Amino acid sequence: MSDKTGFIYDESYFWHDTGNGALCLRPGGWIQADTHSENPETKRRAKNLLERSGFIKELEVIAPRAATREEVELNHVPSYIDKVKELSDANGGDAGEIAIVGVGSYEIALLSAGGALTGVDAVMSGEVQNVYALTRPPGHHAEPEYGRGFCIFNNVAIAARYAREKYGLKRIMILDWDVHHGNGTETAFYHDPEVLFISLHQEFNFPPDRGFVEHIGEDAGKGYNVNIPLPAGTGNAGYLYALEKIVGPIADQFKPELIIVSAGQDPSPFDPLAQMMVTAEGFGKMAEAVKEIAERHCDGRLVVCHEGGYSTAYVPFCTLRVIEALKGAKSKVEEDPYELVIKGLPSDVLAAHQKEAVEKVLKAQSEFWKFNDQAVEV
Ligand code: ZN
């Protein structure tokens, strides 16, 4: 196994212009607009922290290629792709439901999807063991027919379809730990047993009508869609418990040939668009757990794609911990700089209602998967 970790980004990822707003509201309402939530700062600062800490020198920096139109069509209808291009070539606009396309965003979105594809090629060829792609715009809310929730093209869904087509993979696992439900990815593979989709998210957050426990997939895809909605206030303990009790056992039975992660660093205590309590340390531990699953089943092949995360001051540290875990090494940033304000939070305490939320999922999925250390049949 290689010990190399790739890092994919392109300067133009930071040039996708969502304009101004108040959180996700467009200007012109009751409150003065400042910067739109999905602005470049969190991602640019994540890259800056890799540089300032010197940790970028430990990584293989890889330039992304743009996805081709045909590759985007693996997951999106042509009329939607045309719409994004038209908006991008004109003055921009909304490509669906709060999916802002700025001038020139089409080409950047192709490069963002291409970042995920570049990541797939880098791990499948063995050039690197695993990879972090700082993709922007994000992708997991994007539906085949329209954009949603700041997402234009569904980077991870396109990557999974591409990996299947190019490398003939039959079992791909997508784990989505963005605090919002990965509705677009769920839609893409809801009837598909070859792509296992597991989403950890805050219950009743965005989109409010998606991500329920009982949405388990349909037809041949039944049992290959796993929603883990967690209550507001869940922190490291709850997330790691869900990984241990649900994600690990299902992965051990599914035996993925490739793992793709939708990494949104928005379940953090500082995020303005969610109410969870996963600390930077917690993100590192989640990445370690997923890395171990990848090492058990697919020679460590793991592609991590950036999704959301809206705290400009904290997302960089969370992202750094994820990348450290992928590399299996520590940067010079030893302590969480926010230790003083997070140490009193009950992030490492598993509350009874959080445990119940996990048990609900185990019950809903027990028809398809074995849990509780039962003998595993494949
Ligand atoms: Zn999110």
Give the pLDDT confidence score for residue 25 in this predicted structure. Answer: 84
Residue 366's CB is within 10 A of a number of other CB atoms, namely: 12
Give the pLDDT confidence score for residue 378 in this predicted structure. Answer: 37
CA of 279 to the centre of ligand 1 (A): 15
CA of 134 to the centre of ligand 1 (A): 14
CA of 334 to the centre of ligand 1 (A): 26
Residues, CB-to-ion distance under 5 Å, ligand 1? 178, 180, 264, 266, 308
141 classed as catalytic: yes
Question: pTM score, two decimals?
Answer: 0.97
CA of 322 to the centre of ligand 1 (A): 16
Give the pLDDT confidence score for residue 26 in this predicted structure. Answer: 82
CA-to-CA separations, 288 to 28, 243, 323, 326, in angstroms, rounded: 44, 11, 10, 7
Query: Which stretches of the chain are DSSP H helices?
Result: 41-52, 69-72, 78-89, 105-124, 155-167, 183-189, 236-242, 248-254, 280-297, 315-327, 339-342, 352-365
pLDDT in tens, the chain (378 residues): 789 999 999 999 999 999 998 888 888 888 999 999 999 999 999 999 999 999 999 999 999 999 999 999 999 999 999 999 999 999 999 999 999 999 999 999 999 999 999 999 999 999 999 999 999 999 999 999 999 999 999 999 999 999 999 999 999 999 999 999 999 999 999 999 999 999 999 999 999 999 999 999 999 999 999 999 999 999 999 999 999 999 999 999 999 999 999 999 999 999 999 999 999 999 999 999 999 999 999 999 999 999 999 999 999 999 999 999 999 999 999 999 999 999 999 999 999 999 999 999 999 999 999 997 554 443
Q: Considering the candidates 141, 180, 201, 306, report the single residue annotated as catalytic.
A: 141
CA of 378 to the centre of ligand 1 (A): 33
| Residue listed under structure tokens 């972090």 | 132
The radius of gyration computed from the CA coordinates of the chain, to the nearest angstrom, equals 19
CA of 377 to the centre of ligand 1 (A): 35
- Strand, helix or coil at 79? helix
| Residue listed under structure tokens 């805050």 | 202
DSSP lists the bridge partners of residue 175 as 198, 261
- The DSSP element (H or E) to which 196 belongs, if any, is strand 195-202
CA of 266 to the centre of ligand 1 (A): 6
Q: Identify the DSSP state of 374.
A: P
CA of 373 to the centre of ligand 1 (A): 32
10 contacts 111 by C-beta, under 8 angstroms: yes
Q: Which CATH class is domain 5-365?
A: alpha beta
CA pair distance 346, 124, nearest whole angstrom: 40
Name the pairing type of β-strands 34-35 and 20-21. Answer: antiparallel
Residue 332's CB is within 10 A of a number of other CB atoms, namely: 8
Give the pLDDT confidence score for residue 376 in this predicted structure. Answer: 41
Assigned token pair, 336: 């969480």
CA of 344 to the centre of ligand 1 (A): 25
